Amino acid sequence: MNQIGESSFDTHCEVTNEETGQTVTGEVHNFKDKHFLSVVLNRAVEIKLTYNPRSKVYYGSKGGMDFVSNGPVEHIAHVRSR
C-alpha cells in the first residue's frame, strides 16, 4: 500500500514580468504555500508576491512593474509500506 508522505518545494521558481512577458528563474527567499512568496532575482532584487486564490497564482509589483508566478514546484514523497 502506498501512502503520501511529507511534501517539499523547489528552492527556485519562475517569475514573469506581465508587461514584457519576460520570464526569469529566481531564488525562493521566503515562502508559505497559498499565502506569500518572496523571490530574489539576479541575487540583487527581492520581489514580494501574495497568493490570489481565484487565479491560483502569486502577484506582486516592484519599481512600477507587475510580476506573476505559479510559485515553486511541490514534490510529494510517497511512502511505500507493506
Task: For 3-29, write each residue's pLDDT tens digit.
Answer: 556 789 999 999 999 999 999 999 999
E strands, the chain, in order: 2-9, 12-17, 23-32, 36-41, 45-52, 57-62, 65-69, 74-80
Would you put residue 13 in left (φ > 0), alpha (ψ -120 to 50) or beta?
beta
- pLDDT per residue as tens digits for the range 34-47: 999 999 999 999 99
Q: Mean pLDDT across the stretch 62-78?
A: 93
Percentage of residues of the chain with pLDDT beyond 90: 80
* pLDDT computed for residue 78 by the predictor: 72
**What is the pLDDT confidence band of residue 76, given thresholds at 50, 70 and 90?**
confident
* pLDDT computed for residue 35 by the predictor: 98
> DSSP per residue over 33-47, as a string?
TTTEEEEEETTTEEE
The one-letter amino acid at 39: V
pLDDT > 50? residue 1: no
